[in-house]
Structure 1
Amino acid sequence: MKSLFNRVFSFFHTIEGKIAFYPTLFAFIGFHFAMLMLYLEKLGISTFIIEHVPELVINNADTAKTLLSFLTGGIISIMVFSFSMVMVLLNQASSNFSPRVLPGLISNKNHQYVLGIYLATILYNTFTLVGINPRDEEQYQLPGFSVLLGIIFTVVCFGAFLYFIHSISQAIQVNNILDSIYKKAKKKLIAILDNEKESTPDFPDTSNWVSYYSSETGYFQKFAVNNLLDICTEEDLQIKILPVQGVFVLKGIPIIKINREISDELLNKILSNFNFARGELVEDNYVLAFKQITEIGIKAMSPGINDPGTAINTIDYLTELFAYRIKKNDKTVLVKDEVSRIFITTVNFKELLYQVMVAYRTYCKTDISCVQKLFIMMTYLLQQDCKLASYKKDILEEAEQLYTDIQQTIQNKKDLERIDKIYKKLSSYSK
């Protein structure tokens, strides 16, 4: 039962990032609420309201139909406009920043809530309108209270539309995009650091272990940690997860190593806890934040955009994220009942720093302001407490690579003197 719950939770976490999830959920609620109100109207809820607050109830069939039709048409118009704005937002973000930021923008729950409110209100008003069926009978009572709720929901839609315009105008600003990516990655890194012990537990040599292969193709996003730990404990297994989280895994390549041979049934049970998808979210993989922020910075330095200010901002955010990353171990081992059960292959600090720096060295080495900012970033990191002593060596190596490129690229003596001064200060922290 626990295993099933964890899988359902993992599946929900995956689909809630889709742009249609919450609108569909709200539409479902709107339809069923309309059915509930039609049932309550049969029980005489409008009659009760008329007896106590008659001013709130519309008791004319033509007026009620005209009003609901008018309001529903208006909501459809603003919903179409809102969807168009979302498409414009995604197109601009892809063109000006990076296509990698799109999943994060699409998964913005506030925008999904607004679109969901529109759909729920449209369905509610439509089925309430269908329920208005006056007959030439004295005992027939129009669903006046339901019409009143339709008017209230429409007013809520107008308020949501104003919020949506404000939110969409904020979401397209590069500073807000960077801040959103940074906060998600920071939250993920802090959670990892909180769960990480002072020292990494030992894990056996896996060179002679049995390899098992992926049954799916897609980006390896995450796995059900608790489920896999329970399986390892019950079956007395130790598992090494081979692919780095976030990489594209092809069907048929090795995905795990296990300390002994297992049955096909048990293998399928283990692999069912791995989540593959075509998209990537920072909430699942903090490394993606480094990629996205770097790509935004590099795109800003392209000739078509030429925005060094944004590139400098991206370096500021990367500095803060690297400051959290150097507090983390390069190895991740999950323990249960004092036994090392799962070894997770992760991107080590040296590789992560190299991939970021090689992009900036390639595209920003001619801009002295960006170069200075990169040296300032590495100087700051050298002053921080590192989890491993090798991290500082990695930082100094990247600083040396950057300095070498600068010597070959920048010709201005004044700029070179300034860079020499910064580099000598940075190098002093190695002593």
Structure 2
Amino acid sequence: MRDALRAQLWPLPALGVLLAVAAGVGLPRLDRRILRDIRPSLAEYLFGGGPSAARAVLEAIAGSLISVTALTFSLTVVTLQLASSQFSPRLLRTFSQDRYVQTTLALFLATFTYALTVLRTVRTEASGQAMFVPQLSVTVAFLLTLASVFALVVFLSHLARKIRVETMLRDVHRDAEGTIRKLLTESGPSSGRRTEESQLPSGALPPSDALPLPAGASGFLAAVNRKTLLAAAIDADAVVLIDRCPGSSLIAGTPAGAAWSRTGEPFAPHTRHRLVEQAASALTTESELIPDQDIAYGLRQLTDVAIKALSPGINDPTTAVHALSHSSALLSDLAQRDLSPLLLYDDHGRIRVVLRRSTLAELLHLAVAQPLRYGAAEPAVLARLYMLLRELAWHSRPEQRPAIADQLARVRSAAEREEFHPNDRADLTHLADSVDQALTGNWPPITP
């Protein structure tokens, strides 16, 4: 819920409007009580005009702020459209959850709402009531207007910086690092942990007659409720395996996992029905990919930027190389994390739930396959792919290196099919050999 609200533009502006209404109602009442007793030295700093002047000021503030708010919304929409068409549609989430944009819109709408709310309290003698000018409230409106002007300048500066591709790649990288740190623990070279499903204990391997667990709704797997799955497995005395990773596409009624009895006995009919229902309710699906539990989400965004830059309509290999540099950093971090399936145990230390996670081979394929396909004719892209594999090989463990060697063979094959200048081909061959050396634990300097 928190992540969903953070990615929306409306919650913070809506909160600002509500606070502005409360302040617009409360401050004039405070004005009535304290203005008679306020010291002259302080009164000099408050609004000193009459009812007509107060109305003119508040009307000017309200009229100008709604125009500025419309301009800000327009600039935000244009930025979202540019990010979607120029880089990747999956970057829109990064823009919509930008606190600068949300705070600026909240301030503009709050100032507009506050000015309108205070305007209704201004009284003239012609209205048949006692004349009243909320001096403190009008002064606050003036200060909010000054803050809005300053916020507009900061917003324009921030927007100009935000639409730079380097800033977007940095933000994606930072968010992906946060997700990785939240979901994965570090696993050093001496930990002995494996990243393949075949290394699971025998009690966590499904039998051939395991009960399929269908997904309850179609969409992208956004999150898995571990407590619900663990309670369902203990209640049925079963072991539950979810073999789809967050970010996978699920189809309602199609198995997303399996369950089998811990004792080997078949499930009773009512137990089977309850276990299937509880497992389906534990899988949350969304209509779009979200990064909450998806460690591959950041890599997907970086890969999208890279292949978009390599499209014929853009032809920007430099951006693709920069995106691959960020992918290399994330993969090197992931290589040092525990990517083995997550095991949940009951109070007696028995395995009850097995949650599959993306392997390094799958993540590497995600980062390399499409840039290789669309950038095979560009020596700079191939060189960065070789460097990516070299950097990852340096951080990898022995059981991870076959996946790196497989991708190295793919890049070599793609490079051999292209017609390059002899100097470019020699450089690429030298880089490919350096990856082989990194796979054996050697890092000789690359000579010009």
- After TM superposition, the score normalised by the length of structure 1 is 0.87
Q: 1:266 to 1:359 in 2, by over 3 A?
A: closer
Q: 1:47 to 1:213 in 2, by over 3 A?
A: farther
Q: Indicate the residue corresponding to 1:22 in structure 2.
A: 12
Cα deviation, residue 167, structure 1:
0.9
Measure, in 2, the Cα distance between the counterparts of 1:35 and 1:353.
58
Q: Indicate the residue corresponding to 2:248 in structure 1.
A: 247
Greater CA deviation, 18-27 or 316-325? 18-27
Q: Which amino acid aligns with 1:214?
A: A
Q: Indicate the residue corresponding to 1:102 in structure 2.
A: 92
Cα deviation, residue 172, structure 1:
0.5
Q: Indicate the residue corresponding to 1:217 in structure 2.
A: 218
Measure, in 1, the Cα distance between the counterparts of 2:228 and 2:92.
31
Measure, in 2, the Cα distance between the counterparts of 1:271 and 1:15.
24
CA contact (8 A) 2:245 2:294 kept: no
Measure, in 2, the Cα distance between the counterparts of 1:237 and 1:108.
44
Q: 1:88 to 1:406 in 2, by over 3 A?
A: same
Q: Which amino acid aligns with 2:34?
A: I
Measure, in 2, the Cα distance between the counterparts of 1:426 and 1:125.
65
Give a deviation string over 1:265-284, Cα, whole Å, max 9, x none.
77656654543222333454
CA contact (8 A) 1:213 1:253 kept: yes
5+ residue gaps, structure 2? 195-199, 262-266, 441-448
Q: Indicate the residue corresponding to 1:390 in structure 2.
A: 399
CA contact (8 A) 1:294 1:359 kept: yes
Q: 1:164 to 1:14 in 2, by over 3 A?
A: same
Measure, in 1, the Cα distance between the counterparts of 2:21 and 2:278.
38
Q: Indicate the residue corresponding to 2:138 in structure 1.
A: 147
Say whether 1:319 aligns with 2:331: no
CA contact (8 A) 2:183 2:293 kept: no
Give a deviation string over 1:249-274, Cα, whole Å, max 9, x none.
22222234344564767765665454
Q: 1:127 to 1:273 in 2, by over 3 A?
A: farther
Q: 1:61 to 1:311 in 2, by over 3 A?
A: same
Q: Indicate the residue corresponding to 1:63 in structure 2.
A: 53
Give a deviation string over 1:202-237, Cα, whole Å, max 9, x none.
452234443333332322212344565566667766
Cα deviation, residue 49, structure 1:
3.7
Measure, in 2, the Cα distance between the counterparts of 1:22 and 1:195.
36
Measure, in 2, the Cα distance between the counterparts of 1:288 and 1:89.
22
Q: 1:371 to 1:138 in 2, by over 3 A?
A: closer
Q: 2:344 aligns with which of 335, 345, 349?
A: 335
Measure, in 2, the Cα distance between the counterparts of 1:47 and 1:236.
75
Q: Which amino acid aligns with 1:105?
A: F
Q: Which amino acid aligns with 2:385?
A: L
RMSD (Å) for aligned C-alpha atoms: 2.8
Alignment of 1:157-236 (within 5 A): 157-194=148-185, 198=191, 199=193, 202=201, 204-207=204-207, 208-225=209-226, 228-229=229-230
Greater CA deviation, 131-140 or 100-109? 131-140
CA contact (8 A) 2:186 2:338 kept: no
CA contact (8 A) 2:3 2:292 kept: no
Measure, in 1, the Cα distance between the counterparts of 2:387 and 2:213.
45
- After TM superposition, the score normalised by the length of structure 2 is 0.84
Q: 2:72 aligns with which of 73, 82, 97?
A: 82
Measure, in 2, the Cα distance between the counterparts of 1:166 and 1:393.
47
Q: Indicate the residue corresponding to 1:421 in structure 2.
A: 430
Cα deviation, residue 160, structure 1:
1.2
CA contact (8 A) 1:38 1:131 kept: yes
Greater CA deviation, 259-268 or 404-413? 259-268
CA contact (8 A) 1:242 1:254 kept: no
Alignment of 1:362-377 (within 5 A): 362-377=373-388
Cα deviation, residue 331, structure 1:
2.4
Q: 1:139 to 1:133 in 2, by over 3 A?
A: closer
Alignment of 1:267-416 (within 5 A): 271-282=280-291, 284-336=293-345, 337=347, 338-386=349-397, 389-416=398-425
Measure, in 1, the Cα distance between the counterparts of 2:106 and 2:28.
21
Cα deviation, residue 290, structure 1:
1.0
Measure, in 1, the Cα distance between the counterparts of 2:124 and 2:274.
62
Greater CA deviation, 399-408 or 206-215? 206-215
Q: 1:109 to 1:257 in 2, by over 3 A?
A: farther
Cα deviation, residue 91, structure 1:
1.3
Measure, in 2, the Cα distance between the counterparts of 1:122 and 1:133.
20
CA contact (8 A) 1:333 1:340 kept: no
Q: Percent identity at matched positions?
A: 19
Measure, in 1, the Cα distance between the counterparts of 2:173 and 2:2.
24
Give a deviation string over 1:68-125, Cα, whole Å, max 9, x none.
1101111111111111111111111112111111111112122111111111111111
